[in-house]
Amino acid sequence: MGSCLSLKAAANPDMMPKSQQQSGKRKRRPPLPVPNSALASDGSAKTSRLQAGEAYIVGGDDRSASSSLVAATTEFDRFFASYAFEVDPTDDNGASAGASTPHLKIGAGGVAHLCRDLGLDPVDIRVLLLAWLCRAREMCAFTEAELRRGCAALRQAEAPTADGLRAALDARLDAMTGGRAGGRVSGDTLDVKDIDVAFKDLYRWAFDFGLESGQRTLQLPMATDLWALVFEARPSGVPPLLGAWLTWLQSGASGVKGVSRDTWNMFLTFIDTCGSDLSAYDHNEAWPSLIDDFVEAETDRANQNLLNC
């Protein structure tokens, strides 16, 4: 969903990015607010691009207009048309769609309506799961092919409904987390042996999903917010070190402004192998320097706490 899924308020035009108020390129907006694990010591949220309450809805609520541009001949077509308010400038192969009948896509406005119909907050992990299953390439947007792919993965391709998708997303999250999310009884047939593989795929996909166009490094605010969200779907639960990691990064102590793909991928290995207290951390391993710096800072902090006892 193209997970611009920080779509909570939106009606205020003063909140619209200047690029939308005028006619330039629309600014990408990511999906999640800063969670509890990323709060400052006084309980206030750190500044981030993915703060709760940010919302940018474009395209309006002209469902009749979207329907007039789409030949809604099947149940899926009608479902897609009810949320597709924006013209898609390219088809799935990258060809121009400036033909007599424009291709449509679900933009930020449609995403907001879809989330409302699903009964989900736009920053819910299940919205990110939907974007992953769709293999969405753009935040705050779905092409027809992407949504069709996601519906098929959730066994909702023939006649998708909001209720059906919600139940399927609940089941998928339950299947990945063993019911920790408190969703409905799982009807998802995801094999237990495939759960870890599925999470790793979700985790690696999230890096590309969060990248700005043309960039190879994930901006730090985006990286921390995606880390905070994606681990909600981790089969073994949110890693104990995640809160300390996010707090350290957001404090500015790391001195970095972006996260490389290598660091992103290796962080998953790090939290899987080093334990909740870093007891299994091996300095001789080839960890990214950012992780080494974090371990050093966390060790110093722990030693200082011992001295203060």
Q: Is residue 213 in some structural domain?
A: yes
Q: Is residue 263 in some structural domain?
A: yes
CATH code of 211's domain: 1.10.238.200
Centre a 10 Å sphere on the Cβ of residue 177 and count the other Cβ atoms it contains. 21
Task: Kindly report whether the global pTM for this prediction surpasses the value 0.85.
Answer: no
Per-residue pLDDT at 121: 92
For 137, counting Cβ atoms within 10 Å of its Cβ (0-12 exposed, 13-18 middle, 19+ buried), the class is middle
Per-residue pLDDT of the chain (309 residues; tens, 9 = 90+): 444 534 443 333 343 334 333 433 434 444 443 333 333 444 333 333 333 323 332 233 444 444 434 456 899 999 999 999 888 876 544 444 444 567 899 999 999 999 999 999 988 999 999 999 999 998 889 999 999 999 999 999 999 999 999 999 999 999 999 865 544 434 455 555 689 999 999 999 999 999 998 999 999 999 999 999 999 999 999 999 999 999 999 999 999 999 999 999 999 999 999 988 898 998 889 999 999 999 999 998 877 766 666
The b-or-e profile of 30-52 (16+ CB within 10 A means b, else e) is: bbbbbbebbbeeeeeebebbbbb
Q: Is residue 131 in some structural domain?
A: yes
Q: Are 177 and 235 in contact (CB under 8 A)?
A: yes
Using the 8-state DSSP alphabet, how is residue 279 labeled? T
Q: Is 87 helix (H, G, I), strand (E, B) or coil?
A: strand
On whether both 291 and 206 belong to a single domain, the answer is yes
Q: Is residue 32 in some structural domain?
A: no
Q: Is residue 11 in some structural domain?
A: no
Q: Are 15 and 55 in contact (CB under 8 A)?
A: yes
Report the alpha-carbon distance of residue 40 to residue 17 in Å, rounded. 27
On whether both 195 and 125 belong to a single domain, the answer is no
Q: Are 124 and 160 in contact (CB under 8 A)?
A: no
* Domain's final residue, options 154, 189, 224: 189
- Give the closest residue to 111 by CA, choosing from 91, 136, 83, 86: 83
Q: Is residue 142 in some structural domain?
A: yes
Backbone angles phi, psi at 9, to 5 degrees: -135, -50
On whether both 304 and 195 belong to a single domain, the answer is yes
Report the alpha-carbon distance of residue 6 to residue 57 in Å, rounded. 10
Q: Is residue 120 in some structural domain?
A: yes
| DSSP-derived pairing of the beta strands 142-143 and 104-106 | antiparallel
- Structural domain range at position 166: 74-85+104-189
The b-or-e profile of 254-271 (16+ CB within 10 A means b, else e) is: bebeebbeebbebbbebb
Report the alpha-carbon distance of residue 245 to residue 281 in Å, rounded. 15
On whether both 81 and 171 belong to a single domain, the answer is yes
* Domain's final residue, options 168, 189, 210: 189
List of long-range contacts for 171-175, beta carbons under 8 Å, 24+ apart: 172/126, 172/129, 172/133, 173/125, 173/126, 173/129, 173/233
Q: Is residue 47 in some structural domain?
A: no
How many separate domains does the chain show? 2
* Domain's final residue, options 189, 210, 227: 189
On whether both 115 and 218 belong to a single domain, the answer is no
Report the alpha-carbon distance of residue 80 to residue 152 in Å, rounded. 13
Paired strand residues for 258: 219
On whether both 200 and 285 belong to a single domain, the answer is yes
Per-residue pLDDT at 308: 62
Per-residue pLDDT at 147: 97
- Residue range 218-229, pLDDT digits in tens: 999 999 999 999
CATH code of 114's domain: 1.10.238.10
- Give the closest residue to 125 by CA, choosing from 164, 186, 188, 176: 176
On whether both 206 and 291 belong to a single domain, the answer is yes
Question: What percentage of the chain reaches a pLDDT higher than 90?
Answer: 55
